[in-house]
Structure 1
């Protein structure tokens, strides 16, 4: 068995989900720096900052991703380690990542309803990976 045999499509998609998390972290950080007083980030940050507009939405989108990403990564890891990573987990991983990528601009631009539907697609993807784990 080669190293390439160990790298499955669902693991690659999990890796790209981590890249998405880093991108969202960066976008939210840039937005924060633009609304903070000069050199505020270099200090102890004892005061609570209040962010508004698109920056606040980027922060909430990032927070939302961080709520489900550990579960998604865990489900992919369990499916992979148990040898239960079949077509259902790959489809689930694809839906999760695609949904999470589409979710960011929808949240950033404040698009209601469609954003919720896209979140549901991503969550369905997570559930499909989990289903492959438990079947």
Structure 2
């Protein structure tokens, strides 16, 4: 049975999935560290208004990662299927991963303020476009 090695691009998608699967942790820590009164969190999660700002930002960081991970991962899978990997796709995947780590860390800590946070998100979007271009040419 043939067992091909995982490409760097697919390996990065795996790491991004682990990041996305773990990014709920800061939010849950914050929610449990600052419980809200008169809220049945089982029936409906409490409004983010009663929590410290970093808890809200942790929630947004998770959602922002999911917004970009899905299209990026699909594009990498298409590039893989077309065997269209190149130096450009390699460095685009690496850049995308570190942009998403910086975005999540900056968002949760509050360090990535205007204009850094939207620039990080936009750079991730550009990585998606570059990967789409590789798929299109593939």
After TM superposition, the structure 1 = structure 2 runs for residues 49-68 of structure 1, keeping only pairs within 5 Å, are 49-50=47-48, 51-68=51-68
Alpha-carbon separation, structure 1, partners of 2:87 and 2:43: 47
Moved over 4 A (4+): none
The alpha-carbon distance between structure 1 residues 47 and 18, as it changes in their structure 2 partners (threshold 3 A), is closer
Alpha-carbon separation, structure 2, partners of 1:131 and 1:112: 29
Alpha-carbon separation, structure 2, partners of 1:11 and 1:71: 14
Residues 99 and 124 in structure 2, CA contact (< 8 A), matched pair in contact too: yes
1:132 is aligned to: 134
After TM superposition, the structure 1 = structure 2 runs for residues 1-135 of structure 1, keeping only pairs within 5 Å, are 2-5=2-5, 7-37=6-36, 44-46=42-44, 48-50=46-48, 51-110=51-110, 111-135=113-137
CA RMSD in angstroms, aligned pairs only: 2.1
Unpaired stretches in structure 1, ≥5 consecutive residues = none
**Larger helix proportion of the pair:** 1
Unpaired stretches in structure 2, ≥5 consecutive residues = none
Q: How many residues align?
A: 132
